[in-house]
A and B are shown apart, each in its own frame.
Chain A
Amino acid sequence: MIFDEEINQTVRYIKPSGIRKFFDIAATKKGVISLGVGEPDFITPWHIREEAIHAIEKGRTFYTGNKGLPELRKGICDYYSRRFNVDYNGDENCIVTVGGSEAIDIVLRTILKPGDEVILPTPAYVAYAAIIEMAGGKVIEVQLKEEDEFKLTPEALRKVISERTKAVILNFPGNPTGGIMTYDDYGKIVPILKQHHIFAVTDEIYAELTYEGKHCSIAVFEEIRDRVIIINGFSKAYSMTGYRVGYILAHKDIIEMCLKIHQYTIMCATTPCQYAAIEAVNNGDNDIEEMFLSFRQRRNYIVKELNRIGLKTHMPQGAFYVFPSIAITGMKCEEFCERLLEEENLALVPGNAFGDAGEGYVRISYAYSLDEIKLAISKLEHFLEKYR
């Protein structure tokens, strides 16, 4: 790099995504079978696609207001109230963003002062740590453990809190572990967050894929409500990843500040996609239900099969990933995944792509057809026979 010394040094030293690296290796090979994607396999339901087409046909292609279409913001708030019993006001508490990704970025840039600490339960979705650092914050990892079903425990949380703690990232149901937090689980950490005035940045993008009981948003705890910032979007619930529509729900003062960044960097989310999102949020509950059942079936299937072939796997309660330990092979996760790709043409994601806490694990996505899952399992079985 010829500009190493000249460019922003924080960016220079950000670790490139481990997923990216693995993708580059996989992309050089032919006929690769993959259980490596982080997006649903459904094509967006037609009535939603049709609404995007209609918006374009009707010439609804101008900028919208910075916060997003009022009807969409209202729809989002009605949705949260209807499905998760959390009430927000679309005029004051909501910004429509370009995917959950933008929401994560502008929220962290809004709340962090240089040197502020952000507690990040890991293994975690790859973007959090990088964005925290780019926003001038410091990542304080707390390891989620398999024996706790990858939940954030009060003991673990207490250990990492300091005077500089500004926020904790919550991502339940979580990528890559599939772990969830119930009302009772949150009940144990809420008093700690309250006592230390910590912001709860809760990324609920997988909320609709909660398999036992209903998703609990930490925003239901009124005592910390002002410091809860919800990040969500349309990608996972409605299979709309490519539309890039997400949103923030938060206290109006936070929203006003986030809006400053959003208006100068983004202006507004893509207009036809916002119209599609209105259709999704108002008329998409049945789609959610159908996809939910399909994911739950495939989760049941893959967990049973993984245990059968000797990869001990607990039943994750959310998202569309399983995160089994590969200890029986004695391999590091990168070695495991590279050999698996080399020898069986099967791509999984090494656990350490989600932080050091993911070492010894691999992420397996079951957002694939049953036939693809079967084929992948047979390859994995063949591989394990050699190396266990």
Chain B
Amino acid sequence: MKELLKLLEKNARYEVKDLAALLNEEEDAVQEEIEDYEKNNVIAGYHTIINWEKADVEISKAVIFVNCVPERDAGYDRLAARIARFPEVESLTLISGKAEFMLVVNATNMREISNFVAHKLAPTEGVNGTETMFVLKEYKKNGYLFEDEREGVERLLVTP
């Protein structure tokens, strides 16, 4: 049921009882469905969107374009799996255009990111080149604006 996934994508903290009411379904059926999705990796995980800047926690983040050559029998998949396992890598996607992979990398500071690129990513067999762009500020993440759009927006209490 696509509608259930869409709801959970927006808010992973919905209680099953609320999801059932919203979808006009039985609680057990919804519970079962979620478990199936989790088992089949349709739901691969749940996480919280944190505005670290507001939490006053310093983190460094970079977007890295990676150039690489595909392997004859595995294409890009094997190389992708190797790079993706590094805990610094928040996301990894195969893209069209001037690079093959786009990574978002997290670390506590810039030096750690430099070390990651210099000692782990760049020397990886199959990687031909990297281009690292440090993130200066985040405005929107996973569909959520960090600036509250509703601030100061009010509706009248009672209208026809």
Contact = CB atoms under 8 A, between A and B. Distances in A.
A26 interface: yes
Interface string B121-153: 000000000000000000000000000011001
Given A37-B155, A43-B149, A43-B150, A300 B21 contact: yes
Nearest to B150: A43
Contact of A126 (B18, B156, B160): B160
B157 A347 contact: yes
A27 B159 CA distance: 12
A383 B107 CA distance: 53
Interface in A336-388: 347, 349, 370
Nearest to A41: B155
A17 B6 contact: no
B22 A37 contact: no
A349 B158 contact: yes
A26 B159 contact: no
Interface in B1-17: 3, 6-7
B160 A297 contact: no
A38 B157 contact: no
A343 B149 CA distance: 32
Interface in A20-47: 22-23, 26-27, 32, 34, 36-39, 41, 43
Contact of B160 (A27, A127, A293, A301): A127
A19 to B, nearest CB: 5
| Interface core residue of B21, B150, B159, B160 (most chain A CB under 10 Å) | B160
B55 to A, nearest CB: 22
Contact of A300 (B22, B153, B159): B22
Interface in B22-69: 22-24
Contacts of B149: 43
B159 A39 contact: yes
Contact of B7 (A17, A32, A126, A297): A297
Given A293-B6, A297-B7, A37 B21 contact: no
Interface residues of A, number: 28
Interface string A294-314: 000110110011000000000
Contact of B22 (A43, A125, A301, A349): A301
Interface residues of B, number: 17
| Interface core residue of B7, B24, B149, B157 (most chain A CB under 10 Å) | B157
Given A39-B155, A293-B3, A300-B24, A370 B18 contact: yes
Contacts of B156: 23, 37
A125 B153 contact: no
Contacts of A22: 158
Contact of B158 (A34, A125, A175, A297): A34
Contacts of B22: 297-298, 300-301, 370
A36 B158 contact: yes
| Interface core residue of B6, B153, B155, B158 (most chain A CB under 10 Å) | B158
A127 B21 CA distance: 34
A297 B24 CA distance: 8
A34 B157 contact: yes
A370 B24 CA distance: 15
15 contacts: A17-B160, A19-B159, A19-B160, A23-B156, A23-B158, A23-B159, A37-B157, A38-B159, A125-B160, A175-B160, A297-B23, A300-B23, A301-B21, A305-B21, A349-B158
Given A17-B160, A37-B159, 14 more contacts: A23-B157, A26-B158, A37-B155, A37-B156, A39-B155, A39-B159, A43-B150, A125-B160, A293-B3, A300-B21, A301-B18, A347-B158, A349-B158, A370-B22
Interface of A: 17, 19, 22-23, 26-27, 32, 34, 36-39, 41, 43, 125-127, 175, 293, 297-298, 300-301, 304-305, 347, 349, 370
The 8 A-B pairs at the shortest CB distance, nearest first, are namely: A36-B158, A297-B22, A300-B24, A23-B158, A301-B21, A34-B157, A38-B159, A304-B21
